[in-house]
Amino acid sequence: MANAQAESPGADGSAVQPDRIQYKTFYSTGGRLTIAALIITAALCTMDRMVLSMVVDPLRADLGLTETQIGVLQGFSFSLLFAVCGIPLGLMADRLARNKLLAFAVLTWSGGTLACGLANSFESLFVFRMLVGAGEAALWPVAISLIGDLAPKAYRGMLIGGLIVGQLFGGSFSLIVGGQVLESVTAGSLTHLPVIGSFEGWRFLFILYGSFGTLAILLLLTGKEPPREIVSEAASKNPFSGLRVFYDFFRANWKSVGSLYILTMVVAVVQYSGFAWNVPLMLRRFDIGPQQVGLIMGIMSFAAGAAGSLAGGFAAKKTGKSPVNRCNVIIFAYCICISYGLIAFNPALYTTVFLIAIPSVLLAMAGVMSLVILQDIVPSNMRGVATSVNHLFASLIGASIGPVLVAMLTQHVFKTDDMVGVSLGLVVGPAMALAAFFAFTIKKEIVKKYDGMEASVADMAKPVKG
């Protein structure tokens, strides 16, 4: 890859560090504005994704939906276009103006969220949730591509951690505000709103969260786009040649990269199951209202996830350039996360919160590490499409299976809503054990092939003819 290696003299005759030459956008006001825009966009992304989990019971009662239909809306309907659109958006992220691409994506998913507040049937909600998924598919391909060209290697883990912290803040904000709004509806405070009139609480939440997208769009259009580290001449003429370049790289390194993708899929089963059913579990298992649940889960989710994300960024910096050491951190985290399955044994309130909080810390930390590993082993001119394939595994398979499997166990096996915690534990515990196994497999493959992969990255960085 083309990296500036020699120091150059500055205007005052002093030496200028190579990173400040190659990554000058990172040190500029426009670059910092782009970083802020990415973090805020990540927060809004999670808000719009998680709002449905806060309104499961009132939505189901109002529209007459089943537990399985709610599971489909939380998982499959969102992940269908999230997965299908991911690869085209990843290809676009590798060659188009990324700030503008992400701004258009925010407009798409915010519009879908707002439209959910106007839905009157399962079918219309299914379509609008697909629209949300289509827009949100752009976030991580664009973000990983931008960060790879924007920041020096030493800072990339911290920036990825910052994005995850933004997502966690968005999820916490979604839960806390959602709980407050639903309590206000119960008290009759939102029965006659100015201009828009009367709205059910769940409808008001969708419309409110969808309108927040305007802020992210303005920030993204104001930020500065960094120059690309590698530009493929063939890709600029034929955008789909990027798939050929990535295919050649994947074929040479399929065990390592493929294992990373399967690992992402299994972890997605756990994460999306928790996103979908942690809040309904708390509401159904304990005698507390949505305001209290929103406050408890919101604060816990943000604190635990932020700690894990920052720890992941710190660990990524401390592990230097070694993906093997990063794999050791991931294996350790996933082994402890198997304890999430103990939630099936109906523990007390604070024990339940603890069993949710510990995996939130460790999964956030491991999530940062896995994305840094992806950047370690994939060249910059294909990071967008590589991230999209990663999300294809996570969303189309992992996110679709997790929430629906929990719902089906609750509805068809246990046949009572109060058993959702048992269903959740039976899904997430074994899944984390499987994730630990695949993390160990990745480590073994990277130990064998990482030197060769570095050479392959250098070869793949060259333009592909034809």
Buried b (16+ CB within 10 A) or exposed e, 395-417: bbbbbbbbbbbbbebbbeeeeee
User: CA torsion, points 359, 361, 365, 368, in degrees to nearest 10?
Assistant: 90
Contacts of 323 (CB under 8 A, 6+ apart): 373, 376, 377, 446, 450
DSSP string, 102-132: HHHHHHHHHHHHHHHTT--SHHHHHHHHHHH
- Predicted pLDDT of residue 164: 79
- Predicted pLDDT of residue 250: 83
What percent of the chain stands above pLDDT 70?
A: 83
Of 61, 77, 110, 106, residue with least CA distance to 208 = 110
Task: Categorize the per-residue pLDDT at 240 as very low, low, confident or very high, splitting at 50, 70 and 90.
Answer: low
**What is the spatial distance between Cα 56 and Cα 336, in angstroms, rounded to a whole number?**
30
For residues 5 and 22, the answer to whether their CB atoms sit within 8 Å is no
- Predicted pLDDT of residue 186: 61
**DSSP H/E element including 9:** strand 8-9
**What is the spatial distance between Cα 36 and Cα 208, in angstroms, rounded to a whole number?**
22
pLDDT tens-digit series, residues 165-176: 888 888 888 888
Task: Give the rounded distance of the alpha carbon of 333 from its chain centre.
Answer: 18
* 430 has pLDDT over 90: yes
- Predicted pLDDT of residue 5: 38
State which of 140-149, 185-194, 404-413 shows the largest mean pLDDT: 404-413
Q: Which one is predicted more confidently, 261 or 393?
A: 261
**What is the spatial distance between Cα 366 and Cα 436, in angstroms, rounded to a whole number?**
11
Mean pLDDT of all residues in 413-423: 91
* 341 has pLDDT over 90: yes
Mean pLDDT of the chain: 80
Task: Categorize the per-residue pLDDT at 464 as very low, low, confident or very high, splitting at 50, 70 and 90.
Answer: very low
pLDDT tens-digit series, residues 249-285: 888 878 778 888 888 889 999 998 998 899 889 988 8
